[in-house]
Amino acid sequence: MPNLDYHDDNITVEWINGIKYMSPSPHPNHGVVYKKIFTRIANYLEGKSCELFPDKTDLCLANPESPVNIADLKKPLVPDLFVVCDNKFELVGNSIVAIPDFVCEIVSPSSVKMDNIIKKRTIYS
């Protein structure tokens, strides 16, 4: 089992292009929107061979069929939710190693720059 650094549960830590980003817990309105989106996607995926992962789940973008780079496990993304189909993921430590089929970021005033600029242009494009 790899030796991983873990962080405080009240702070989200993500690594993007080698830069560490930290953000506080979201506004309660974020949770209301999240719950609605999560529920609809979960209902849609019922009976399908897809797994819906909730917020606070570390995601390492990598092919799970390739050897896992331990350095990548220490630099996870933490999307609001993501979906991986056909069991194309691996659980390594506290991280999901996968290339998701779907990623959802809930944009709020405090996360516009992170979600619409940094992540969209450098990770999800």
What contacts 31, CB < 8 A, 6 or more positions away? none
Tokens matching residue 45: 């995926």
Say how far apart CA 49 and CA 87 lie, in whole Å.
Answer: 7
Strand partners, 85: 50
Question: Domains in the chain and their CATH numbers?
Answer: 11-122 (3.90.1570.10)
Say how far apart CA 122 and CA 116 lie, in whole Å.
Answer: 10
Q: What per-residue confidence (pLDDT) applies to 75?
A: 73
Task: Report DSSP state, residue 83.
Answer: E
Q: What per-residue confidence (pLDDT) applies to 4?
A: 46
pLDDT averaged per 10 residues, the chain (length 125): 48 69 74 95 98 92 76 77 95 91 84 59 60
